[in-house]
Structure 1
């Protein structure tokens, strides 16, 4: 391998801090049930941002408008499991509010809607 004198990394490499360092070695999040489509938004009157780590501040700045956990994970370029741990910390501290998707009520499904969806899939 030859040394070209340029930087040994590039922006496509992703974050240089390992995931276990960001989560302080934790592999499981808090008791909050978060999945990929859980919606998250910064609390309008949450605690101050001055005393929190940079990773948390980035999430809070991004979540001024409601985002899904998957969107946040992609934005901060961290695995979903790490993102869930960080979001769990922010929920516990009162910085963000979350809402899990409501379960679908199968009793009220419209049969015509299902047929339309099925026809659309077949047309693909």
Structure 2
């Protein structure tokens, strides 16, 4: 086990010493609607109460806009567990999220976009 309590509990031979379901306290569903491409950004609000070392580690990564997928890869946790940790941070106001632009949907009356799509389809056919 490492001497620094801020480092994740890893053993080079055995791998992670704390199971992912322990990090998320057995929860498998995040309370916030998060996609792998959702961008996360710290708000500067400090979470009230103890959340855990993974929460601190994730919060430290959110200094600039970063995707859920990048956070999961950096902290070596499954995406579902990372989403639960991020949901905790969203719930206490420590981070804010913004969904991917393609999920926010185009304006319903964006004629230029619709004409460009139609033009592209005509060229392919």
TM-score by length of 1: 0.71
* Aligned equivalent of 2:7: none
8 Å CA contact 2:41, 2:62 repeated in 1: yes
SS in structure 2 at match of 1:28 = coil
Alpha carbons 2:47, 2:89 under 8 Å: kept: no
Q: Quote how far apart the aligned CAs of 1:50 are.
A: 7.5
Q: 2:97 is paired with a residue of what secondary structure?
A: strand
Q: Does 1:103 align with 2:102?
A: no
Confirm or deny: 8 A CA contact 1:49 1:57 kept in the other structure: no
Structure 2 unpaired stretches of 5+: 1-10
1:39 CA displacement: 0.9
Aligned twin of 1:37: 37
2:13 equivalent among 1, 9, 15: 9
Alpha-carbon separation, structure 2, partners of 1:106 and 1:22:
42
Q: How far apart in 1 are the matches of 2:39 and 2:118? A: 26
The 3-state SS of whatever aligns with 2:41 is strand
State the Cα distance separating 1:66 from its structure 2 match.
0.9
What does 1:1-124 align with in structure 2 at a 5 Å threshold? 9=13, 13=15, 15-30=16-31, 32-44=32-44, 46-48=45-47, 51-101=50-100, 102-105=104-107, 107-108=109-110, 109=113, 111-112=115-116
Count residues in correspondence. 109
Q: CA RMSD in A?
A: 2.9
Paired residue secondary structure (2:63): coil
